[in-house]
Amino acid sequence: MYRSLDPSHIVKTIERLQQRIDTRFPGAGLGRVCGELLATAHKSSAQAAKLAQRNWPLRISVGAILALGLAAQIAAAAEQQLAGLEQIAQVLGHIREAAGQTVGGAQETERAAQEMSRLAEQLRQVVEQHRG
């Protein structure tokens, strides 16, 4: 099974066919048709050779498009990370605020405990005065 056609073999085959037609049927319309087929085969062969060459402008353009796409993906990821860091900073601010409130509450609780201790001592003294 053929996986590809060799244009030079096709052109040679058509040339041999035209020679055979011209030999057997000189001046016939079939020879002119074969001549047109041969001209088309030459053009197609040239176009196939041109298409087989590497198209550097196209390759560079595709590479540039891929690079731009990658850069856009990196920029989007960096933006998402920045948003995440901003959220972390905001949460840390809330934690710091809550910790400050907890320290303030603990200090207030300590003052209240000291005040209760002072009042308990006063109550004990009053109770002792009335007993004795």
Per-residue pLDDT reduced to its tens digit, 36-90: 999 999 999 899 888 888 889 999 999 999 999 999 999 999 999 999 999 999 9
The letter for the amino acid at 85 is L
Q: Give the count of domains, the chain.
A: 2
- The residue whose two tokens read 């590479």 is 63
Of 27, 25, 45, which is closest to residue 37 (Cα–Cα)? 45
Question: Are 103 and 91 within one domain?
Answer: yes
Question: Are 62 and 127 within one domain?
Answer: yes
The rounded distance, in Å, linking the Cα atoms of 122 and 114 is 12
The rounded distance, in Å, linking the Cα atoms of 119 and 109 is 15
Per DSSP, 3 falls in state S
- pLDDT score of 92 more than 90: yes
Question: Are 60 and 83 within one domain?
Answer: yes
Range of the domain at 12: 1-53
The model's pTM: 0.45
Question: Are 70 and 117 within one domain?
Answer: yes
